[in-house]
Structures are given as structure tokens and as C-alpha cells.
Amino acid sequence: MNILAGIGQALANAPIPAFMLGLASSDITEVSRAFIERTNIPFIPGGIRMVIPALGKLLTWSEHYHAAQVQSLQGTPAPLVQITLSPSPTGNWSEHQARTLLAQHGILTIPATLATSEELAVAAASTMGFPVALKIASPDILHKSDIGGVRLGLSSEEAVREAFAHVMRAAQAIEPAPHIEGVLVSPMRTGGVELLIGITRDAAWGQVLAVGLGGIWVEILKDTSLRVLPVSRSEVRTMLAELQGAKLLQGARGAKAADLDAVIEVIYQIADLAQRLKTNLEALEINPLRVDGAHIEALDAVITWQ
């Protein structure tokens, strides 16, 4: 045991990263685990056949990570200018708050008006033109459809009035009582491809970008590609190509093909925004991001702060 402890101390003091590696993939006994933890021996279990390929992938990822930190796709320096919000936000933001931040930083969002009464909802719908969609706006209700807080395809003033009353009742029935900002009124959109763009903070890896098919498909198909931030535009292109539904962006069955360069640029901008907010950003999710040719806009967004 003393010999192992001495080896562990020498490895810990080595000028380069050094560790002990098991030759075979075998279980570690409780006694051995306790000894490793007590002596802080840098030991990697799993055996050579598992660990060596894993280390190779780690080195490859590390090279990409550092390259993306210092340059963009064109090879020019890309200094990261942090965004400081005052006062420092905490907890969940409503869709209304999230879309305001996105719009301030160049991310196109679907037009929306926050209405606090039936009359204001009807006026907003009449101004933007029917049909419209209504969604409850509350930082305490992130999954609006689950509680009946969304009504779609409203084609008349009477339908808007009824929908406003419906989503407000649904929200007010929740316990504990949520803070309700009002109801968002937006024009309906049809066609195009819906994507999910999400950034979450992982305890080990930091900010992780997820790109996948959005709307209901993200839960049904679970078709996503993941990368640790930062990413380059070329890496975003690779992520889109990895999706099983990638052909949908190419215009399957006569549909309009997506402007892939435009899609990549929007995703890159979202990832860049998350990086600049990362001091206390917990999660930023746009679902769906609607892609209709070169027209790309966020239809819904959620932001959570630490």
C-alpha cells in the first residue's frame, strides 16, 4: 500500500498529466476504491481497450475546442465580449422576457404583442391579421401546452376572446399561483422546418449546444447533435449534417429547401450569445426555430438563470 501511495504522489507531482491505468476492465473492490479516494491516486479504470480510445477522442475534442476559442471560420480573432445584465437575473424568464433579449442581440423572433385583457388581445390580432396564436406569458409556466396555455389558428375576434379567457383560466388554476404577465398574441406560421436550438450548463463540461428537430419531434425522435461550446460555423454545419432529419432541410418532397448558410449563421449567433451570457446562464432554449428558406425566426424561447 505504501508503494502505491508513493507512486500516486509521484504521478500527482509530475510536470505533465500522469495517471495509473488498469490493464484489464475489471471491477474495483470497495477496499480498493476507498484506498484510491483516501490517497488521491490518479487512477483511470476501464482497461486499456476502453481508456486509450477515450483519451484519443478527448485530445481530438480538445484541439477543436481551443481552435474555436481563438478563431472563427474565416480565421480571424474572435474576442468574447461578455454581456452584463443589471440587475443580475435569477430563475426563469418568461417567453416575453426571453424574446426581448434575443431580439436585442439580433436573433429574429416572430412578432408578438403582450395583451393583458381580451380587448387588447383582439386589437393586437386585428392589427397583425388573422389567424393568430395565443400563449400564456409567465416565468412560472415554461411548458405552456401542458397546462392548456396555448391556442392556435384563431381566425376571428370571438375566437380570440374565448381563447384569452381559456388560457387565463388554465394558468390561474395552477398551484401555487404563478405570476402571469398576460397573453402573447402572434401571427400563425405554416410550412417550413422546425428546429430545436438549446444551450445548457453541464457541471463537468460547461455550456453544451444541442441542435435537433424541434416542436413535438424532439421528444418523439430524439434526433439531436451535441457539442461543447464554443463552436465554429463549420462545426454547426457538421451538427446539422449529423441529424437523421437533415434531408428535411434540403427540401424533401418538393418543400422549399432551407438556406443552410443562413441557418448556420443563426445557430452560431445563438451559441455566441450564450457564451457572452455564460456568467450565470443556466439554459437557453429556442423551440421551435422555424426555417422557411432564408426566413428564420424563433417561435418560442425559454431562458433560465442560476
147-188 pLDDT, tens digit per residue, is: 999 999 999 999 999 999 999 999 999 999 999 999 999 999
6-21 pLDDT, tens digit per residue, is: 888 888 888 888 888 8
257-285 pLDDT, tens digit per residue, is: 999 999 999 999 999 999 999 778 999 99
Which residue is associated with the grid cell 480565421? 75
Burial of 6 (0-12, 13-18, 19+ CB in 10 A): exposed
Given a cut of 90, whether residue 220 has pLDDT beyond it is no
Tell me, which fold does domain 193-305 have in CATH? D-amino Acid Aminotransferase; Chain A, domain 1 (3.30.470)
Q: Give the confidence band of 73 by pLDDT, cuts at 50, 70, 90.
A: very low
Q: What pLDDT is recorded for position 237?
A: 96
Pick the CATH number of 111-187 from 3.30.342.10, 3.40.50.1980, 3.60.110.10, 3.30.1490.20: 3.30.1490.20
Which residue is associated with the grid cell 431580439? 103
Alpha helices, DSSP H, located in 113-154: 118-128
Give me the DSSP letters along 160-173. Answer: HHHHHHHHHHHHHT
pTM above 0.85, yes or no: no
191-219 pLDDT, tens digit per residue, is: 899 999 999 999 888 999 999 998 766 66
Q: What pLDDT is recorded for position 77?
A: 45
Asked if 194 contacts 214 with a C-beta cutoff of 8 angstroms, the reply is: yes
Q: What is the spatial distance between Cα 2 and Cα 218, in angstroms, rounded to a whole number?
A: 53
Strand 224-228 with 206-213, pairing: antiparallel
Task: Measure Cα distances from 119 to 70, 126, 157, 227 in Å.
Answer: 52, 11, 9, 46
Common-topology check for domains 111-187 and 193-305 = no
Q: What residue ranges do the domains of the chain occupy?
A: 2-67, 111-187, 193-305
